Structure 1
Amino acid sequence: MPLMTPTRPTLLTTLPALPAALSSTRLGIAVLAGAGLLLTACGTGVQGPTGADADGGVDDGDAAVVDVALENCGQEMEFDAAPQRAVGMSPAQTELLVRLGLGDQVVGVAQTSSSELPEDVSAQLGEAEELSDDQPPSREVLLQVEPDFVFAPTSYEFSADQGFASIAQLADAGAASYIATGGCFERRSEGTVEDLFTDIENLGEIFAAEEAAEELIDDGRDRLQGAAELSDGAEPLSVAQVYVEGDTLSVVGGGVEYDIIAQAGGDNVFSPDEDQFDSFVFAQISAEELAARDPEAIVFGVEDTAHEETTREYFAQNHSEVQAVQEDRLIPVPNHHLFPGSLQNIDAVERVADGLYGG
């Protein structure tokens, strides 16, 4: 079994409140995945999965020998054998595992309705079981596939008080739990696109897939460089990243979303230094505040085509005085492109850069 020595994180007793616009059904998945609001609840131990070895872990078979020690979201992890039965707790995590050449090791996929996997990724999943569609799988369902590695976008997926398996419970069952670096609660405000490369490098070492990891990182950096070159010689455009739900506006002032705009060459009109972002990377604003900031471009998260059309109509009807609306520089980005640990973070940078400077 992979040897892991997780240190249990401390459960928060108080949590920052979500902006009302971001607590709706439409954006619920995106915000939970993006915010990582809940730290893992330490639960009681559970019985190891059927077929576990004498130490409580899954038999390694022909697992590659590795010698890996790393820190992930406050837990120290060690591996002496590459995991053989991985679960991707969202499509973004599943895709990353498959892109590393680990499709045969993926035994379960979760939260599948949050986005569709590319066809070439789905084709490599083999016999992976769908464990859940619109929320993390229950503890019992997850343990049924006998995982030895569970890869999640945030710590929320390990909330025992929600009926999910906690990090401690999975460790008792012989499974390591890895959280995307950008989804760590303590990194939520400072998260960057670069966090994705940390995850790729770590996973490459854990699964003895270093060559594939290096190729993914090199390709990602090349794509980011190409996106950055679109703004060469141009005066940076001012940008606001806005979420619209009904008549409520919320804006981004930190985290990977903020860094995506910076990587694309935009100048965000909201700053992490502002008091309204002290406790969370999202803040509600008034229509008057958006008009006062008067961004030259607006990046807005969307769940689907209908949501994009509704949002465009809202801006046209209510904010015709804003430069971004007047110049039709409105840039939609699918919400799942903003999830921590997602290769789509790079897609988001390219999409924003093209919308700002692509002509």
Structure 2
Amino acid sequence: MPKKRPVAIALAGALCLVTAACADSTDETGDKASAAAATSGYPVTLDNCGVSEKFTKAPSRVVTMNGASVAEVSTLLALGLGDSIAANQQTYGMSEVAGRADAIKALPNGDVKLNDAYDIPREAMIGLRPDLVLSTTSYGFDEKNGFATREQLKDVGANTYVSPQGCDQDTSKMTIADSYRLLRDLGKIFNVSDKAEQLIADSEKNIAAVSGKVEGEKKPKVMVLFSNMTMGGNDFSSVVAKGIYNDILTKAGGSNAFESASKTSFADLSKEKVAATDVDALVVIGYNDPDPAAYAKKLLKEFPQWPAAKNNTYVALSDSMYLGPSNDLAVEKIAKALHPDKF
């Protein structure tokens, strides 16, 4: 049985409101400060989960909460904003992007004592003196969980931001578009919108090229799950049912074999249910697992009746399969495994 990890609870919730962003306008004249702000793109106001967040300059002491995610820290690094991070608690230990895992590892962590959810408790958060706190879901600002609330952080001069689809912790409707929304929002907050738009355009171009090659092909049934992770009572409780994963699969020319197994993002399945399902390919996501490929190979041996086992069809992925700036890499890797004759 996989080892049960406390962060699994956060992972299940971490991934429904899409945030909207707009720049405030100013028509004051003769005020040099206002003119400078207008030239720099500030002030910027985001309506984030029903909370209005106003930015008058680029944040310089950013704290990224764990949330069993690397979406926020990876997006900051992709935008060239690593120097603005005062404390980071996000890590997968691996990445499809060369150098990213090492770059994340090198970031300061704030030297704080984490709580049972491996995240930053209220007093420690206040002590970090942040000017922006990023959380994958509203869980990270829930006082019942021992975290600083958005109101408490505002009182000490910190803006806060909950990533797209994280407002009510229901991530079942998340798509690649939410990764783009995160890029755009952080681009506006830090006045690097041009960089954000370029990253989005490059991703869209890559995905369109891959999807074009597999268009019209039969869609293999894919099982997506996190390696060596338990989130429920059955043998297979980290199986993906809905969310951004399905959008990635669709664009790669595949389909989720267990999409109907749950109304939420994850399914909690028995070994018998898994064995009785035809699985054409495996996508195993490594979350702080140094060898998700080994887990994939173990499953293929455990279920030799699967077409996936007979054809040895699997993909081991990490951060590209999740909310973040690199979904196009997951689309490409999965498409090549599902439709090798098209590449």
**Same fold (TM > 0.5):** yes
1:109 correspondence with 2:96: no
The TM-score, its normalising length taken from structure 1, stands at: 0.73
Helix, strand or coil for the counterpart of 1:181?
Answer: coil
> Could you tell me which residue of structure 2 aligns to residue 316 of structure 1?
301
> Could you tell me which residue of structure 1 aligns to residue 73 of structure 2?
94
Find 1:180's aligned residue among 148, 155, 163.
163
Q: Which segment drifts farther, 203-212 or 153-162? A: 153-162
- Distance of 2:110 and 2:49 partners within structure 1: 26
Q: Which segment drifts farther, 322-331 or 140-149? A: 140-149
> Could you tell me which residue of structure 2 aligns to residue 144 of structure 1?
127
CA shift in 2, pair 1:298/1:172, >3 Å: same
CA shift in 2, pair 1:22/1:196, >3 Å: farther
> Could you tell me which residue of structure 2 aligns to residue 190 of structure 1?
173
Find 1:66's aligned residue among 39, 42, 57.
42
Cα-Cα RMSD: 3.3
- Distance of 2:236 and 2:105 partners within structure 1: 39
Q: Is the 8 A contact 1:252 1:281 kept in 2?
A: yes
Q: CA deviation at 1:201?
A: 0.9
Q: Is the 8 A contact 2:44 2:55 kept in 1?
A: yes
1:355 correspondence with 2:333: no
Q: Which runs of 5+ in 2 are unaligned?
A: 16-35
1:255 correspondence with 2:234: no
Which amino acid is the alignment partner of residue 260 of structure 1? I
Q: Is the 8 A contact 2:138 2:169 kept in 1?
A: no
The TM-score, its normalising length taken from structure 2, stands at: 0.76
1:211 correspondence with 2:194: yes
1:220 correspondence with 2:203: yes
The number of residues matched between the two structures is 306
Which amino acid is the alignment partner of residue 270 of structure 1? F
* % identity of equivalent residues: 28
Find 2:59's aligned residue among 79, 83, 98.
83
> Could you tell me which residue of structure 2 aligns to residue 200 of structure 1?
183
Q: CA deviation at 1:197?
A: 0.5
Q: CA deviation at 1:294?
A: 0.6
Which amino acid is the alignment partner of residue 330 of structure 1? Y
Q: Which runs of 5+ in 1 are unaligned?
A: 1-20, 38-61
Which amino acid is the alignment partner of residue 292 of structure 1? A
- Distance of 1:237 and 1:199 partners within structure 2: 30
> Could you tell me which residue of structure 2 aligns to residue 24 of structure 1?
4
- Distance of 1:306 and 1:86 partners within structure 2: 31
> Could you tell me which residue of structure 1 aligns to residue 13 of structure 2?
35
Which amino acid is the alignment partner of residue 350 of structure 1? E
Q: CA deviation at 1:178?
A: 0.8
Q: Is the 8 A contact 2:13 2:171 kept in 1?
A: yes
